[in-house]
Amino acid sequence: MDARKFLKFMEYCKKENIEPTAEELKAWWSLEKLRMALQE
């Protein structure tokens, strides 16, 4: 998992005044992991 992407995502949420729920974070995390797996 790329920490920089995660930080960018969190910055985006802050900028847009979005409070990501645990579920949203989990979903995003899963998508990232899936994407990484597909790239290998």
Domain boundaries, the chain: 3-39
pLDDT for residue 9: 83
- Could you tell me the two tokens for 22? 């645990």
Contact 36, 1 (CB under 8 A): yes
This prediction has a pTM of 0.49
Mean pLDDT of 9-30: 87
- Could you tell me the two tokens for 17? 């005044």
List b or e across 3-37, with b for residues whose CB sees 16 or more CB atoms inside 10 angstroms: eeeeeebeeeeeeeeeeeeeeeeeeeeeeeeeeee
User: What's the mean per-residue pLDDT of the chain?
Assistant: 86
